[in-house]
């Protein structure tokens, strides 16, 4: 730390050595983060399944009308999307399938896909039950076809593709969640080590004294008991040997 401008200087090599010195802790925290994230993803999050039904939004019974509709472009597709997500359509689908879901709850399961330069609209349903997700998507197509015909006074849109039941959940992505948990654990452990290292202002060796205090080290005093370990071990052995001799006596 520089006393003139109070800036913290970080040596990347020193940080690398710090992480390397605490590598077991870093790896353990990373593992714990991945395990916790995996447990939450697998056991605490409800799997969701996605099914999509598609329909063609332009009628071909009148060539002149079809050409005019093609010039309207995406504006017509936006009108269809608004009608599909309207309250009468959503509530009719819920009633037909006895879903016992409110308008907002069912609307949250629906998303509309309209690829650029196409007149095909996809109704995507995301639901915990794969079979019910398929039925809801197909029912939306059926109800929306009648509603669009009634409101816009055009021929009924053509069904392009019926929805099928998904064999695998679309979410959660367990592998991605485990990786994210492991990365979070890794970052937390490294962040903790860095903060502790930056806040630690104790002098640990002669180099720290010269760097921070600008003083030369004349001598160093060993820790208490640091030089007497060998002697302590020898005296301990002598005591044990004396006990054994007394025991023989």
The pLDDT value given to residue 205: 63
In the chain, domain spans: 12-40+175-240, 47-161
Q: Is the pLDDT of residue 112 over 70?
A: yes
pLDDT band at 28 (very low <50, low <70, confident <90, very high): very high
pLDDT in tens, 217-240: 666 666 655 545 555 555 554 544
Residue 113 has pLDDT above 70, yes or no: yes
Q: Give Rg (Cα) of the chain.
A: 36
Tell me: the pLDDT tens digits for 133-187?
999 999 999 999 999 888 888 778 889 999 999 999 999 999 999 999 999 999 9
Half-sphere exposure of 118 (CA within 13 A, CB side): 11
Share of the chain above pLDDT 90, in %: 51
Q: Which class is domain 47-161?
A: alpha beta
Determine the pLDDT at residue 220: 62
d(CA 128, CA 126): 7
pLDDT classification of 207: cutoffs 50, 70, 90: low
Backbone torsions φ then ψ of 162, nearest 5 degrees = -80, 150
Is pTM beyond 0.85? Reply is: no
Name the DSSP letter for residue 43: I
How far apart are the C-alpha atoms of 108 and 90, rounded to whole Å? 11
């Amino acid at each position: 730390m520089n006393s003139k401008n109070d800036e913290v200087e970080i040596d990347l090599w020193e940080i690398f050595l710090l992480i390397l010195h605490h590598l077991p802790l870093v790896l353990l925290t990373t593992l714990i983060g991945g395990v916790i994230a995996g447990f939450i993803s697998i056991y605490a999050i409800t799997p969701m399944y996605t099914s999509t039904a598609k329909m063609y939004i332009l009628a071909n019974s009148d060539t002149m009308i079809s050409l005019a509709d093609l010039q309207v472009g995406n504006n017509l597709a936006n009108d269809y999307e608004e009608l599909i997500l309207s309250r009468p359509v959503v509530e009719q689908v819920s009633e037909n399938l006895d879903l016992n879901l409110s308008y907002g709850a069912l609307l949250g399961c629906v998303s509309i896909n309209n690829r650029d330069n196409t007149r095909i609209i996809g109704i995507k349903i995301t639901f915990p039950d794969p079979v019910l997700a398929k039925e809801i998507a197909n029912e939306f197509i059926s109800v929306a076809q009648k509603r669009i015909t009634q409101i816009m006074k055009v021929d009924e849109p053509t069904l392009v593709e019926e929805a099928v039941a998904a064999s695998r959940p679309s979410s959660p992505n367990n592998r991605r969640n485990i990786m994210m948990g492991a990365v979070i654990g890794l970052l937390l452990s490294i962040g903790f080590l860095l903060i502790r290292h930056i806040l630690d202002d104790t002098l640990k060796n002669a180099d720290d004294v010269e760097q921070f205090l600008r003083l030369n080290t004349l001598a160093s005093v060993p820790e208490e008991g640091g030089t007497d370990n060998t002697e302590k071990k020898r005296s301990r052995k002598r005591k044990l040997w004396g006990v054994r001799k007394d025991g023989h006596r």
